Structure 1
């Protein structure tokens, strides 16, 4: 039943994607991209830099912080940290960019900061949820075998929490791919150049020439992270997660 539902969802999404691409082709988006390959490549590289750096920094902060607040000594901080991140997530991406611009000015660094801030919650929340979902019996067994706290963390807790952590990273990355289009508004570059140029000129073809690569990047990056997850997460834990 579950597999049948997944197939129906994939079929529906494929039809929506096909319709979107057909609309873009009819509007002349692919022709515009072929006529401006150098500019397109430059904007794609800028977009990837924005997404890559902001997501890397978010992972570097959110994962250790999520682990820290699940430790017994710092568990009191969990409510404060998670709710602070929740408040940050409720602020629209455009508002985050505007606030960051007010204090940091225009440019690439401001865009990276805004994207970093907006992508913290999915990673932090999933890290906390993943660490708390680890079966206490597994941890007790590790301690009973003489494992030190660091060994329990690296050999037992993190491997078992890794599916949830990866899910948060994938979610944050895909969100960042879409949100990075707004970076153009504060001089951060990216594929938002085509999108907002098309909007200002009332040219659907130019607008979709930016939207199509953004969609393609989101799908490609999500797929690549899925492949990476299969390499990193132990197979036994993957099978257990699929059965849930």
Structure 2
């Protein structure tokens, strides 16, 4: 059965040594993914913060993001490959283009989600525009920003398999090698590794997103659940009026 053969390939000790070992390819895949998302964040986060804070060019940014999302990643990769040749540069640029819309949307949506009453209160305290942005809007909008980064990571980690198309390494190398040799167990085993990596990233970023929510901004149902858990851990003794 092909599924059993695929898991057999994944756990075969012979695939964990040598030049084409799974740990090395896995690390290349992680490195390409995180580097692409980091570069996209450096580009998109300041632009998203500016759009969210000023409210300007929002329609233009949405239109451009939609256009970028519609671009076929393989086509973009092929174009960059023709221009830049074999290596990491072409797939990295293609993956950065893929990641920018999600990070940009998370950045400006996070700023826009801040209650205007909170912003007015901050200004009433004498805060400048920069102070309102960095001390109020950015912390309160952080969960949505991380959500955008989370979405970008999941898109990139799946698409980074195309990096092997121009010889840049990663788990995609097993796909192209398996296709060439008709080793479908190797191809399915590589798919299992990509899925496992995506799940691992999802767990990590979901935890980061939950941890970034300021405690004072929890919705009433969340505060009620949190209070119930605290009362369960610290019950009030009988006869104590407090």
Q: Deviations over 1:175-234 (max 9, x none)?
A: 110000011001111000112222232222110221111111111011111222233331
User: CA 1:189 to 1:69, structure 2 compared with 1: closer, same or farther past 3 Å?
Assistant: same
1:165 to 133, 136, 145: 145
Q: Distance between the aligned counterparts of 1:217 and 1:49, measured in 2?
A: 12
Q: How does 1:36-47 map to 2 (within 5 A)?
A: 36-38=15-17, 39-47=21-29
Alpha-carbon contact 1:62-1:120 (below 8 Å) kept:
yes
Alignment correspondent of 2:46: 64
Q: How does 1:47-62 map to 2 (within 5 A)?
A: 47-62=29-44
Alignment correspondent of 1:8: none
Q: Distance between the aligned counterparts of 2:69 and 2:97, measured in 1?
A: 8
Other structure's SS at 1:64 match: helix
Other structure's SS at 2:126 match: coil
Please state which structure has a larger fraction of its residues in helix.
Answer: 1
Alpha-carbon contact 2:143-2:212 (below 8 Å) kept:
no
Alpha-carbon contact 1:100-1:110 (below 8 Å) kept:
yes
Other structure's SS at 1:66 match: helix
Alignment correspondent of 2:171: 191
Q: Distance between the aligned counterparts of 1:212 and 1:135, measured in 2?
A: 43
Alpha-carbon contact 2:53-2:111 (below 8 Å) kept:
no
Deviation (angstroms), 1:238: 4.7
Other structure's SS at 1:95 match: helix
After superposition, the CA RMSD in angstroms is: 2.1
Deviation (angstroms), 1:77: 2.7
Q: TM-score, normalised by structure 2?
A: 0.83
User: CA 1:236 to 1:195, structure 2 compared with 1: closer, same or farther past 3 Å?
Assistant: farther
**Structure with greater Cα Rg:** 2
Q: Deviations over 1:9-57 (max 9, x none)?
A: xxxxxxxxxxxxx963x12443355221131111111101100100111
Note if 1:216 corresponds to 2:208.
no
User: CA 1:144 to 1:120, structure 2 compared with 1: closer, same or farther past 3 Å?
Assistant: same
Alignment correspondent of 1:234: 214
Q: Distance between the aligned counterparts of 1:103 and 1:50, measured in 2?
A: 20
Other structure's SS at 2:86 match: coil
Q: Distance between the aligned counterparts of 1:209 and 1:173, measured in 2?
A: 21
Alignment correspondent of 2:104: 124
Q: Distance between the aligned counterparts of 2:8 and 2:209, measured in 1?
A: 32
Q: TM-score, normalised by structure 1?
A: 0.82
